[in-house]
Structure 1
Amino acid sequence: MIFNIQRYSTHDGPGIRTVVFLKGCSLACRWCQNPESRSAEQEVLFDARLCLTGCARCCHAAPQAISRKPGGGLDIARSKLSGSAVKALVKCCPSQALTVCGENRTVEDIMQVVLRDKPFYQRSGGGVTLSGGEPFMNPELALALLQASHEEGIHTAVETCLHVPWHNIEPCLPFTRLFLADLKHTNTELFKTWTRGSARRVMANLQRLAEQGAQVVIRVPLIPGFNASEGAVRSIVDFAAGLPGVEQIHFLPYHTLGMNKYALLGLPYEAPGKPLDNPALLTFAQSYAYQKGLAATLRG
């Protein structure tokens, strides 16, 4: 199950890349910019601004879950959107007010898209990047895509939160040239409160990756109220600097570009309502990382 293939990307690893977005994640970060990636199943997104008055195609396609409101708009009972109902909605909306996120694609089908741009990878030092969601939540597909790309001589990278069992990651090591790995916090309680996950699992996987000699770039999303403080940054950088072979850290200031997706999914947005505006913290983060021997980059 994937939800997008993005060609000509220049922000997800070196060079020009094709990014394959796998569906499913084991975390529930409040600030997630791709909330449609959390579930491993297909999901319905609805944009009321595009809905055509008088059209009832979706109501006929999934009558058990969708109906017209008396004053206009749709009433969507998402708990009743079963697999068959979602499947019936895939191509029913003429205005794309209602869309279905997620589709099953074979490895061969995905690789056909990836291979279209092989000359660009070779000229730019680019390749293929698996993203999500969390790619290692679907370890069989991740392994198959990484191995197929590796055998084609294509550089491979994975954007990962590392919140998965180690046995999901280990088979992919021989076929993954670069891990773009999140390190969101070292405080276990704050991590659990904001992501519903275990910081210990993430840090243990980072330690094992580094000890295996994998090329790892640490990524730190800086979120107001969560880790956008000198104390949190210092702790994250200290841990990253202690990982053998890790040389780079990227700081990603929080933004709200994904906020509208929550409304499309019928979900509340629980992260801060404004982007991070703290130049002094960004300066400190870069300076402290340099002091600890890490090459620091601001992204976004």
Structure 2
Amino acid sequence: MSPSSSEHLIATGRKILEQEASALQSAALVLDSNFSRAVTTICNCNGKVIVSGMGKSGIIGQKIAATLSSTGTTALFMHPAEAAHGDLGVVSPGDVVICLSKSGMTEELNFIIPPLRHIGVIIIAVVGNKRSFLAEKSDLVLDVGSGPEACPFDLAPTTSTTAMLAMGDALAMTVMREKQFTPNDFALTHPKGALGRQLTMKVSDLMISGSGIPMVRQNAPVTELILEMTSKRLGVSAVVDSSGVLKGIVTDGDLRRHIQEGTAFLDRKATDIMTPSPKTVSPGTLAKTCLELLETFRISQLLVCDKDNRPVGIIHIHDIVTQGL
């Protein structure tokens, strides 16, 4: 068997993509009031949304359940074969069950329909055959079409599973909008992702605190100030009064400037060379907001102060950047 030309392979791939895209367009055209009723049903569900399907449809079902869960709707996947051997115990009255099957005649799935009815759930069928057993026994039917698969033998689930996946996305995203699910809500279910870190990570999560804060009193000699800055290795020191209230800040740049001026600054006090009323942030400031301040003013660190303007921490730009923000 001689290998196909590059042009032939590209043409084949393009044809398959166009066939699947056509199936999605057809599913969009036949979308009816059952879709809006399904959305309302899921939004009003006080229990769980359980997604079930066999084989490739089951894999699509797992993705749909995961999408619903991450966008504000409690959902899980239930394998129909395992359900018939005890996993139906996760189903409670008032739940919504979404069943996926192109033919609507999947034996393992249809076997659990009567017990689901007995438990007292609302069944939404996502099928390609509206005259099937599954469709007839369900409360709502979402038609994904029964056209040919992209498989050259019309056997491997391809076009049908693409349509199921898209229908699941349409449901999840519409429900998400109806529930007014926000980016902040999204961040709570995605704390490890970049968006989650941007919307949840605070200065208090990253700042150096306690004895790690470089700090001297106003009347401290410059020699003590230099030792404090050197030992804490942050290139900066807070200057506070006897009550611990922030009065100013000294950076290594300030020290260099005074040296260049040729003044006998080693005999001076911290208050003589500090920059008064420096920019600060609170512990509750979002790390993303803190990063924006650092970049705007082109500085490397910010002191973190409590409501009484007492330093409780210091945060360096590297502490934020290393978190992927």
- Name the TM-score, length of structure 2 as normaliser: 0.25
Whichever structure has more helix as a proportion of its residues is: 2
Whichever structure has more strand as a proportion of its residues is: 1
- Name the TM-score, length of structure 1 as normaliser: 0.27
Structure with higher Rg: it is: 2
